[in-house]
Chain A
Amino acid sequence: MLEDAGFVDVEIGDAIDTFGGATGEEKARAYEVYGYAFRARKL
């Protein structure tokens, strides 16, 4: 989606267990939801 929006040099960081230990953990596990850092540049 970032490249479709006109961004280049897209970089994605490692997955982060954002919801681990929170009450939303079960739902997050069901859909393998993790946090990520993204970096991209406008042409």
Chain B
Amino acid sequence: MTENGTEDTDADPTEVEYRVTAEGVEKAFGDNKVLKGVSFTVEQGTATAIIGPSGSGKTTLLRALNALDRPDAGVIRVDDVELDFSKPVPKPEVREFQSRSGFVFQSHNLFPHKTVLQNITEGPVIVQKRPKDEVHAEALELLDQVGLVEKKDQYPYQLSGGQQQRVGIARALALKPKLVLFDEPTSALDPELVGEVLSVIKDLAVEGWTLVIVTHEIQFAKQVSNQVLFTDQGIILEQGTPDEVIGDPKEERTRQFLNRILNPL
């Protein structure tokens, strides 16, 4: 736990040890240009919400931050690892880059053949080759944090959707990433299960984790994030604090989008 809340980290730049920067990120799937040169910065210990209409490129942008989808061009830096995607990048460098961030999927993607605890310890023990006992203890702490210690020996199919997603979050955190990425973490959940997942993410923001969250939960984005990016047609159309982008949008497209989401009828 960091002792400062997210607000303080912004206020005191000397505390910032690292940041995440993206510059001119481009990505096309076939003829479809999904990202057309996207740039932004995420400061350590802040939460950034990416909102925007479907097909605007927000998920692709998030996946680019973890190189799950390799951009065609652009430079992304997470902590001390910088990749220039306009050149071919060797696999070990990609893996080093990926090790700086954790990823939470829309559909959790837990490993069904492993218990809750094994899902969390798999990365630290097998990939990072850290001592089992130590990882085990940390994993239990993480499970405690997401409120699922008693489920540690269950298999994913025995959990509800919200519980599965919380285990997915614990799995991502177990690798001690510098950056945690969330891809619409509540979109696949029943409405009554959304709250438990959002409150876990909110706690992470308060604790000082660096978060980037693709979400349709506008109220949640407003409450939790320090920065909001509104993507539209492959570019970041508008960015700023939640009060600026959500509270007082400058762009017509942003207004239309927020209006549709907040007043669906």
A binds B: no
